[in-house]
């Protein structure tokens, strides 16, 4: 049976969190050039129900029960699907039901639907919202985020601003820096100035640290990241870089196949992390090869490292 809840996984921002995948693979309003889970399979801006919240909550409860007898601790339940979580019209109901576990709830969004009052209302219940703002320059935004044509940048930025004013939880922004796409001074300057108006708790600057959807999407170089950091710092209280690999502290439910398939659906895993997981679950490399043979996983090379990524079936929507 397909699992929609995974972890706990280490997160660069959220400590240890359980991930909740509330929409089917790669349903998104954007098709970002750096997306780590591949090109969007289905692009849309219309909200709709996907999985019943009760089903997702049941999976969370089961995982928490499994973790009860371990020394695992948790910082967050994080709604972070391999697509855009606000496309789920039952997001509000899901967050409301997750509150019963008394664990903070985070949602990682691309911000494109925040112009909709019902999306803002749903997210108002979350403790932490991270919104993507890669560029506020129209041409750069189109190039990096590859939005659906009917989306308008001005409307999106107004929506994000309205949410920032209304929201009582912890709002952070994330800006991914890509070489020769959004790392020029004009884009960085304008983006930092806009983010300043939102008064986020933290403005994160990231670079892709895993394989990207487009082969021409490269991380900005260290020099440029340093320039961007200092430029953002002149306008914002707290700026942090997200440029490192999280390490190998992926947790295990004891079942290698289940663990690697659920983790790689959202996080490609570096080879050394997979080896740690194999050891932790007392599994053999044959089990890994079996998943490769069945085309459920793919081995890719990126910046001198081998990664394992989840393969999604293109027949999913037929």
Which residues make up the interface to ligand SF4 (CB under 6 A)? 28, 30-32, 35, 40, 83-84, 110
Least Å distance, CB 21 to ligand SF4, is: 11
Residue (40 or 136) nearer to ligand SF4, CB: 40
Least Å distance, CB 187 to ligand SF4, is: 17
Least Å distance, CB 215 to ligand SF4, is: 16
Residue (30 or 76) nearer to ligand SF4, CB: 30
Least Å distance, CB 26 to ligand SF4, is: 7
Residue (83 or 219) nearer to ligand SF4, CB: 83
Residue (30 or 308) nearer to ligand SF4, CB: 30
Query: What does the radius of gyration of the chain's CA atoms come to, in whole angstroms?
Result: 19
Least Å distance, CB 35 to ligand SF4, is: 3
Instruction: Name residues whose C-beta falls within 8 Å of residue 254's C-beta, 6 or more positions apart in sequence.
Output: 281
Q: Work out whether strand 5-11 and strand 15-20 pair parallel, antiparallel, or are unpaired.
A: antiparallel
> Residue 259 is inside which H or E element, if any?
helix 256-264
Least Å distance, CB 184 to ligand SF4, is: 20
101 to each of 14, 66, 129, 130, 199, how far by Cα in Å?
Answer: 17, 14, 18, 21, 30
Residues 199 and 160: beta-carbon distance below 8 Å: no
Residue (92 or 206) nearer to ligand SF4, CB: 206
Crossing angle for the helix pair 285-293 and 271-280, to the nearest 10 degrees = 120
Q: How far apart are CA 9 and CA 23, in angstroms?
A: 19
Residues 200 and 232: beta-carbon distance below 8 Å: no
Q: Give the count of alpha carbons within 13 A of 143, CB side only.
A: 16
Residue (176 or 269) nearer to ligand SF4, CB: 176
Quick count: other Cβ atoms within 10 Å of Cβ 293? 10
């Amino acid at each position: 049976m397909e699992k929609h809840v995974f972890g706990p996984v280490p997160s660069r921002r959220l400590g240890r969190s359980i991930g909740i995948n509330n929409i089917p693979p790669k349903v998104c309003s954007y098709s970002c050039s750096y997306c780590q889970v591949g090109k969007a399979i289905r692009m849309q801006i219309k909200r709709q129900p996907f999985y019943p919240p009760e089903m997702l909550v049941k999976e969370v409860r089961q995982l928490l029960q499994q973790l009860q007898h371990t020394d695992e601790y948790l910082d967050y339940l994080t709604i972070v699907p391999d697509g855009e979580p606000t496309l789920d019209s039952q997001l509000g109901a899901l967050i409301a039901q997750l509150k019963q576990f008394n664990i903070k709830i985070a949602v990682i969004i691309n911000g494109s639907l925040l112009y909709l009052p019902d999306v803002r209302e749903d997210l108002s219940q979350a403790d932490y919202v991270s919104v993507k703002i890669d560029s506020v320059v129209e041409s750069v935004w189109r190039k990096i985020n590859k939005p659906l044509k009917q989306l308008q940048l001005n409307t999106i930025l107004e929506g994000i601003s309205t949410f920032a004013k209304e929201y009582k939880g912890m709002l952070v922004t994330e800006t991914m820096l890509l070489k020769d796409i959004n790392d020029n001074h004009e884009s960085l300057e304008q983006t930092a100035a806009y983010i300043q108006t939102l008064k986020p708790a933290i403005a994160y600057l990231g670079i892709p640290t895993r394989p990207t959807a487009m082969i021409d999407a490269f991380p900005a170089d260290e020099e440029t990241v340093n320039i961007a950091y200092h430029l953002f710092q002149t306008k914002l209280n707290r700026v942090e870089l997200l440029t490192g690999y999280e390490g190998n502290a992926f947790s295990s439910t004891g079942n290698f196949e289940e663990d690697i398939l659920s983790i790689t659906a959202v996080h490609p895993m570096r080879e050394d992390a997979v080896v740690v997981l194999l050891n932790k679950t007392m599994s053999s490399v044959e089990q890994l090869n079996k998943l490769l043979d069945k085309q459920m996983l793919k081995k890719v090379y990126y910046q001198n490292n081998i990664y394992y990524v989840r393969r999604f079936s293109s027949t999913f929507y037929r």
